């Protein structure tokens, strides 16, 4: 058991349990909560051969009244614990759903406990032993190849979900964060999507993308519950997915989900019950989300400064000698490799010849514009190929929908999606789309895309599409009853995000971009991954999955 004062003065502390002990974990949680000198981030790394069972957990804690509230919070997250590594997160004040401006001034209001739990037999998950070796009991220390910093300042370029998520993850770890965006408000780009659907990816072989999507959905749900208002900003309604002909991937679920892991797997995905079509699957934890609301909530932290109308043209690295005093050890910088550094770099973010901001590090989350900025920081002007992906959504007001029109009870996705009765400035609205355009790189609205969205809806929900077809027929007239929104996402050829240090550039330049059409599912996960890597904390996903997202993967 950790000595009560061992973690005093630390920002991040790791506690290990080779075998998960429910009562020991709950007592540790209780002690951390009661300690005014607690670390801001407490990481518990543990293993269990079988998934945690909520009922058994509550029964075990019933005789310990001081632990019962913590047991109830843990029980709420004991769902979907399939074999593998899971990250469960708990706020200091577990019942608080939103932080007011006043409480945000208190750093402890953003304290977090994270349980990194490996589920399954040791022989099936040998990498968990590597996790235990890499994160012994004690202070979380940055990687040995990370330079010491005179100050924790970072500039994030881009204020979408990836940028805002990165800003929040670093701000909660004590960084002073400046977020720059060319728009006049946060979420001015692709994250300005009026409403989106968050659901897991599934595949017969339970591919890396499928596993990443589940980790991303779990983190997204935890974050939405903490920061947003359910029913207004988001809804945990579940999502019905159609596996339509012509999809680029095979649908279905692994055979193990139908047999030995059926009970746990049903928390994520199972065949939709009648009267749903035979090709339909049900995602119980799927949700709809208004992304711009999430972006604004993520940026609402006292350590984050947002600046709009900030068009960035170039990045410049400035290296200078550090003062000897900066090498004095502190509780957070005890790594000898850090103390040996005699120089440090700063990054200038430029608009023409004007320096917009100077910071120790920069993270690019600028969508399609990220590549051009990287080219200004490499010696040879090279940059990864990041392709624009334009998408257009069609929407209309519920007041214009003919009476008696069939509307699905929950959001539906497949080849596009359909969501209805979502709050908008003009009244409750329906939304369908989006298109996936690799040719047009701007956000102009196109009548042809409205026709494509109607065609997609006809395959997804034929009865609903038939009722809305007369509204689509008004597109291009003086009084259209179908409107549009378009944005430009970006991606790379393997359709996975690029997260981590930018290759072929001086130390201090990172990226969290190229989310493609998976930004709602993976954006926050990639942000948390980057923050844990900077601080030497346990990763929120398996190491082999983190390699799929590594920004240097094409240079190896």
The DSSP secondary-structure symbol of 200 reads -
Which residue reads 């997260």 in tokens?
A: 499
Residue 75 φ/ψ, nearest 5 degrees: -60, -35
Task: Supply 369's token pair.
Answer: 């514009």
pLDDT at residue 337, as a whole number: 40
What DSSP line would sit under 366-414, residue for residue?
Answer: -GGGHHHHHHTTSTT------EEEEEEEEEEEGGGSPTT----SS-EEE
Task: Supply 345's token pair.
Answer: 């770099």
pLDDT at residue 244, as a whole number: 77
pLDDT mean by block of 10 residues, the chain; 556 residues: 74 93 96 93 96 95 96 96 96 55 46 94 90 92 72 95 97 96 95 96 92 97 96 96 68 79 93 89 97 98 97 92 46 42 78 96 95 95 93 97 95 94 95 91 92 96 97 97 96 95 94 95 98 95 96 89
CB atoms within 10 A of CB 112: 16
CB atoms within 10 A of CB 177: 26
In 157-261, which ranges are continuous DSSP H helix?
161-171, 208-227
Domains along the sequence of the chain with CATH: 12-94+111-139 (3.40.50.150), 149-190+294-319+344-385+495-549 (3.50.50.60), 243-285+388-491 (3.30.9)
pLDDT at residue 108, as a whole number: 47
* CA pair distance 362, 376, nearest whole angstrom: 13
* CA pair distance 178, 308, nearest whole angstrom: 11
Cα–Cα distances in angstroms (integers) from residue 222 to residues 285, 287, 352, 394, 523, in the given order: 11, 12, 41, 29, 14
Helix (H, G, I), strand (E, B) or coil at 360: coil
E strand spans, 96-210: 112-119, 138-139, 153-157, 176-180, 196-198
Q: Which of 61, 57, 119 is nearest to 261 (CA)?
A: 119
* CA pair distance 97, 101, nearest whole angstrom: 13
Task: Supply 386's token pair.
Answer: 């990041």
pTM score: 0.92
Cβ atoms of 524 and 204 closer than 8 Å: no
- Maximum pairwise Cα distance, the chain: 76
pLDDT at residue 146, as a whole number: 66
Cα–Cα distances in angstroms (integers) from residue 99 to residues 36, 91, 111, 162, 416, in the given order: 19, 11, 12, 21, 34
Q: Which contacts (CB < 8 Å, 24+ apart) does range 172-175 have? A: 172/40, 172/41, 172/110, 172/112, 172/301, 172/303, 173/11, 173/12, 173/40, 173/41, 173/531, 173/534, 173/535, 174/11, 174/40, 174/107, 174/303, 175/303
Task: Supply 229's token pair.
Answer: 């208002």
What DSSP line would sit under 90-105, residue for residue?
Answer: EESSTT-----HHHHT
Rg (the chain; Cα; Å):
24
CB atoms within 10 A of CB 131: 19
Cβ atoms of 161 and 181 closer than 8 Å: no
The H-or-E segment that residue 336 falls in is: helix 336-339
CB atoms within 10 A of CB 444: 10
Helix (H, G, I), strand (E, B) or coil at 144: coil
């Amino acid at each position: 058991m950790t000595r009560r004062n061992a973690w005093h003065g630390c920002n991040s502390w790791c506690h290990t349990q080779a075998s998960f002990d429910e009562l020991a974990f709950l007592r540790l949680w209780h002690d951390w909560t009661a300690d005014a000198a607690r670390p801001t981030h407490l990481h518990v790394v543990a293993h269990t051969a079988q998934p945690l069972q909520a009922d058994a957990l509550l029964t075990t804690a019933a005789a310990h009244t001081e632990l019962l509230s913590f047991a109830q919070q843990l029980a709420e997250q004991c769902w979907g614990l399939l074999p593998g590594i899971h990250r469960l997160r708990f706020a200091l004040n577990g019942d608080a759903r939103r932080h007011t401006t006043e409480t945000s001034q208190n750093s402890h209001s953003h304290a977090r406990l994270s349980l990194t739990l490996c589920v399954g037999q040791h022989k099936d998950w040998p990498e968990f032993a590597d996790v235990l070796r890499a994160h012994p009991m004690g202070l979380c220390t940055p990687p040995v190849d990370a330079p010491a910093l005179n100050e924790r300042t970072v500039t994030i370029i881009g204020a979408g979900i990836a940028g805002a998520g990165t800003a929040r993850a670093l701000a909660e770890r004590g960084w002073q964060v400046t977020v720059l965006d060319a728009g006049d408000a946060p979420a001015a780009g692709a994250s300005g999507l009026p409403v989106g659907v968050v659901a897991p990816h599934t595949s017969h072989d339970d591919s890396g993308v499928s596993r990443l999507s589940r980790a991303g959905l779990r983190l997204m749900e935890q974050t939405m519950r903490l920061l947003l208002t359910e029913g207004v900003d988001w809804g945990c309604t579940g999502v019905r997915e159609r596996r339509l002909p012509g999809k680029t991937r095979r649908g279905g679920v692994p055979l193990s989900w139908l047999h030995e892991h059926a009970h746990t797997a049903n928390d994520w995905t199972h065949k939709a019950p009648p009267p749903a079509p035979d090709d339909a699957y049900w995602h119980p934890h799927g949700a709809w989300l208004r992304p711009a609301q999430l972006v604004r909530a993520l940026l609402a932290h006292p350590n984050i400064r947002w600046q709009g109308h900030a068009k960035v043209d170039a990045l410049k690295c400035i290296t200078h000698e550090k003062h000897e005093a900066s090498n004095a050890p502190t509780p957070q910088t005890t790594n000898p490799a850090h103390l040996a550094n005699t120089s440090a770099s700063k990054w200038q973010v430029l608009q023409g010849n004007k320096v917009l901001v100077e910071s120790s590090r920069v993270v690019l989350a600028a969508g399609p514009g990220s590549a051009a900025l990287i080219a200004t920081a490499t010696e040879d002007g090279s940059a990864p190929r990041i392709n624009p992906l334009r998408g257009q959504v069609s929407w209309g007001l519920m007041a214009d929908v003919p009476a008696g029109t069939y509307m699905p009870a929950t959001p539906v996705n497949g080849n596009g999606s359909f969501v209805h009765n979502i709050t908008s400035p003009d009244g409750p609205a329906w939304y369908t789309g989006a298109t996936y355009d690799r040719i047009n790189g701007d956000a102009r609205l196109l009548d042809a895309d409205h026709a494509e969205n109607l065609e997609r809806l006809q395959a997804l929900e034929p009865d609903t599409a038939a009722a809305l077809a007369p509204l689509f027929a008004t597109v291009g007239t003086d009084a259209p009853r179908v409107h549009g929104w378009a944005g430009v996402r970006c991606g790379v050829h393997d359709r996975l995000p690029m997260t981590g240090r930018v290759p072929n550039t001086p130390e201090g330049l990172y990226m969290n971009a190229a989310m493609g059409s998976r930004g709602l599912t993976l954006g926050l996960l990639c942000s948390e991954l980057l923050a844990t890597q900077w601080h030497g904390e346990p990763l929120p996903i398996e190491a082999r999955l983190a390699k799929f997202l590594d920004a240097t993967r094409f240079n190896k």
